Structure 1
Amino acid sequence: MAANVPASDEAVYASYQAKWATQPDSSDAWLARAREVSEVLSQDAAQRDQDNKSPRAEIALLKHSGLLKLLGPKKYGGGEQPWSVGYQAIREVAKGDGSIGMLLAYHLLWSTTANVVGTPEQIERTHELIIKNNYFVGGAVNPRDSDLKITSDGDHIVFNGAKFFNTGGVVSDLTVLEGVLEGTEDHIFALVETRQPGIKFAHNWHNIGLRLTESGGVKIENIRVPWSDALGWDEATKKPREDILKIPFASLLLPTIQLVFSNFYLGIAIGALEFASKYTVGNTRAWPFGGDNKESATDEFYILERYGNFFAHLRAAEALADRAGEHISSVYSKYGSNRASLTPEERGEAAEWVASIKVVATDVGLRVTSGVFEVTGARATSLKVGLDRFWRDIRTHTLHDPVAYKNRELGRFALLHEYPEASWYT
C-alpha cells in the first residue's frame, strides 16, 4: 500500500486474538461470534467512517474472530457452516459497521469461488491455502468494465487491464482476477497474491457510503498465473472443462453474491433502527405543539407507529432472507458433489428467491435508513451522532445494479413463469 495512504492500526484489536483463540463449534456459536464483532465495531463506527482510513485494523479483527474461515472445511480449520449461516453472520456484522459487513460478505463469496467453478483438486488446494493461512480475499471482478485481457504463455496465463471497482483489494492477501482468454469468448477466474508489483491500486474510493471497503480502481499489469490455477480449466488441453463451466451450476456464483448484497443491506437497516431506538429513548424530545402533548418522545403516537412499522417490515424481510438463504444452501448441499445434475429450472428457482429479497431489502432498507430521522429529531443529523452513515451505505451499494430490472425479472416469472437467463447480474 502506498505510504501516503492512512490506515487504521492493527494493534487496536490485538487483545481479541487471545480472547477469540477458541473457534466457534456450532452455528449458534458462530453467529454469537459475529454479534460480538458487530458490537466491537459499533462502538466507534461513526468516527471510523469519518476518518476514512484503510481498514487494516478491521480486517485484523475479522481474522482474530475466525469469521473468515466460517464456510471452509473443518479438515483445514474451517467452520464448515452452510451459506445460510454465512448470510446471517454477514447481516450481524453489518449491523455494527456496513463497510466491514460488506468486506466479510465479499470475502466469503470470493474465498469459495472454486466451489462453483473450480476442479475438485482446485477446490481442495484453494481451501487449504485460505483457511490455513487465515487469508482475506478481495476481488477485481466488475462486469461493467472491460474484461481483463488474458494471454497464454507456455504453462502460464498473463492478465492485463484495469478495473474501476475492486472491493477489498488494498487490504487483501489474495485477489480474484477474471478476464477473457485472447482469441476466445471464454472467461477465466484465478486467485493470485495481492502484494506484487503488477497489482497497482488507485486509492480513489472517496464515495458517500461504505467508505471503509476500499472499493476503488486497480491496474493489472503482466500478472502471471500457472494454467493449473485457471479455475475450471484443463491444464493439459488449455480448454474450459465442459463438465464444470458449461453447466447451470457454474452460474450459481451470481445468485450467491446477490444474496450477499441483500443480507448486508438488511444488516445495515436493522443496525440503523437499533441505533435510532437508543437515540430516541435517550435524546429525542417530545413535540410540545401537537395538541395531544406527551411528556416523553417514547409516548408519541407517530414515533411509536413509525418504529412499529419499520420493525414489522424488517422482521418480514429477515424471514424472506433466511428462506432464500436456506434455498441456496440446499442447492449447494444437494449438488455440490454432483454439479452436472442441477437443472436450469432449479437454478432459476433459486435465482428468483434471491431476486425477491433483493427487491424487498432494497426498498425496506432505503425507507428505514432515511425514515429514522423522522423519529429521532433534528439533533440526530449531527455528524457526531453518525446516523447518516446507515443511509449512505445502503444508498451507495443499492446502485450496484438497478433494482428495477429485478422487479421486471420477477414480473416475468410471476406472469409468464419464465426463469431468468443467467447473466453477470442474475
Structure 2
Amino acid sequence: MTDWITRAREVAAQLAVDAVERDRANKTPFAEVQLLKDNGLVTLLGPAEHGGGGQTWETAYRVIREIAKADGSIGQLLGYHYLWAWAARLVGTDAQIAAVEELYTKNNFFFGGAVNPRDSDLKITQDGDELVYHGHKSFSTGSKVSDLTVLEGVLEGTDDHIFAIVPSKQPGIAFHDDWDNIGQRLTESGSVTISDVRVPWSDAAGYVDRKFQPLVYNTLNVPTIQLVFTNFYLGIAQGALESALAYTRERTRAWPYGGDDKASATEEWYVLEGYGDLQAKLWAAEALVDRAGAAISPILHAPREDLTPEARGEVAVLIAAAKQRIVDTGLEIGTKIFELTGARASATKYGLDRFWRNLRTHSLHDPLPYKRREVGDYALNGRLPEPTWYT
C-alpha cells in the first residue's frame, strides 16, 4: 500500500499547483485524467495479469483520499471510476467480469457512469437479441473524460434494472455541457441523452438467459460507493485544514488588541485552540473511515457467494456512521478555517472557499439524516439497514 500512497501524493502535488485556477476555469479535465492514467492509478484495482496494480479496495480508498486533498473533483472522478470498474464484479457473471477487467486494464480505460436510479428516465426496449437504451439522465459523472460508460435503465414492461458497459464515444451518447455547480466543478457531472444505444443481451450485467442471477454481493454497490464519497470528503477536509495551517504559518497576523499580545499568530491562544479542536475531530473521523475501509475491503475481495445479509448490514452501518461524521467535521473545518486564518484569507486568489463548496455540493447527494437514522436504528433496536438504491 505504501508505494501506491506515495505515488498518489506525487500526483496530488502536481494537481495542487494550479488547483485554484482550474476550479475557476471549470474546463473539462482531460489533462488531469491523463495524469491519473500515466501514473497507473486508473488500473490500481485491475488484475496484475493484465498489467493492473492488483491492489485492494483498502488501498484504493486511501488513494482517492490523497488525490482529493489537492483536488476534490479529481478525487471524486477517480473514486467513481473505481466503483464503475468494479461494477461487473458487483453484478456481472464470471465471464462478464473477466472480459470487462481485461478490457479496461489492458487499455487503461477510464469509467464514467450514467446511473441515477431515483429517476427512471432511461428506458430499455428489446429488439431481438439486443437491448436498446434510450432516454435522458440528469447526471453522468465522468462524461467526456471517460472511455467507458456504465448505463442503467429499466426494461420496458418490467421493474428490472439492467446495467451495461458501453463505449462513451459513440453517436448515441450526447454529453451536455450543463454542469456548473458551486462545487466539484471539474467532475463532468452534467446530463446526458441516450439515443438508440444497443447492447447484446449477453452484455446485460448479471443476466443469464435473460434472467438476473441475484447474490447478496450485488447489494454492495451502495456501501462501496458511499465509502468512496466518505474518503474524498475526508481528503477535502484534510486539504482544507492543511491549506489553512500553511496560510496561518505564512500570512496570518497576531491580534494586537487582546491584552495578551503575541509576536506571531502561531502563538495566539485562540488560533492554537481552534486548530487543536479541528485536528482532533479530523483525526477521529479519519480513524472511523479507516476502520470502515478495513472492514469492507476483505468482503469485496472474498468469494461473492460467501457474503451474508448480516455481514453486509454490519459494514453498511459502519460506513453510514463514517460518512455522517466526516460530513459534519468537514463542513465545520471548511467554515472555521476562515476564523483562524483571518480576513485576508478570504481573497479569491487563495481559494480556501473551494473546500467548503466541494464538500457542501456533493454531500447533498442523499440526505444525511437517513444515515443517522440507520445508525440510530442499529444502536437502539439492533436493526440492520435493508438494501435499497441508497442504503
Same fold (TM over 0.5): yes
1:415 partner letter: L
**Residues matched between the structures, number:** 391
Deviations 1:23-53 (A, max 9, x none): xxxx211111111111110111001101111
- Give the distance between the partners of 1:415 and 1:77, measured in 2 at CA: 47
Q: How do 1:243-258 and structure 2 match up within 5 A? A: 246-258=214-226
Any unmatched runs of 5+ in structure 1?
Answer: 1-26
Aligned residue number for residue 238 of structure 1 = 210
Aligned residue number for residue 148 of structure 1 = 122
- Give the distance between the partners of 2:113 and 2:264, measured in 1 at CA: 49
8 Å contact from structure 1 (residues 147, 178) kept in 2: no
Q: How do 1:207-286 and structure 2 match up within 5 A? A: 207-234=181-208, 237-241=209-213, 246-286=214-254
Q: Does 1:51 align with 2:25?
A: yes
- Per the TM alignment, residue 321 of structure 1 is displaced from its structure 2 partner at its CA by 0.8
TM-score normalised per structure 1: 0.91
- Per the TM alignment, residue 341 of structure 1 is displaced from its structure 2 partner at its CA by 2.8
Q: Does 1:300 align with 2:271?
A: no
1:391 partner letter: W
8 Å contact from structure 2 (residues 240, 333) kept in 1: yes
8 Å contact from structure 2 (residues 120, 154) kept in 1: no
Aligned residue number for residue 309 of structure 2 = 344
Aligned residue number for residue 406 of structure 1 = 371
- Give the distance between the partners of 2:288 and 2:62, measured in 1 at CA: 12
Q: Identify the match of residue 67 of structure 1 among 16, 24, 41.
A: 41
8 Å contact from structure 2 (residues 317, 375) kept in 1: yes
**SS of equivalent to 2:169:** coil
Structure 1 runs of 4+ with >3 Å offset: none
2:279 partner letter: F
- Give the distance between the partners of 1:272 and 1:410, measured in 2 at CA: 27
What is the percent sequence identity of the aligned residues?
A: 59
**SS of equivalent to 1:69:** coil
- Give the distance between the partners of 1:401 and 1:148, measured in 2 at CA: 20
- Per the TM alignment, residue 147 of structure 1 is displaced from its structure 2 partner at its CA by 4.1
- Give the distance between the partners of 1:147 and 1:127, measured in 2 at CA: 28
Aligned residue number for residue 91 of structure 1 = 65
2:235 partner letter: G
User: Which has the higher mean CA deviation after the structures are superposed, 249-258 or 149-158?
Assistant: 149-158
- Per the TM alignment, residue 169 of structure 1 is displaced from its structure 2 partner at its CA by 1.1
Deviations 1:167-188 (A, max 9, x none): 0111110100001111211111
8 Å contact from structure 1 (residues 76, 128) kept in 2: yes
2:241 partner letter: L
- Give the distance between the partners of 2:183 and 2:270, measured in 1 at CA: 29
Q: Does 1:396 align with 2:361?
A: yes
Q: Does 1:378 align with 2:346?
A: no
8 Å contact from structure 1 (residues 287, 294) kept in 2: yes
Q: Does 1:136 align with 2:104?
A: no
Any unmatched runs of 5+ in structure 2?
Answer: none
Deviations 1:291-344 (A, max 9, x none): 11111100000111111111111111111111100111121233xx2x233211
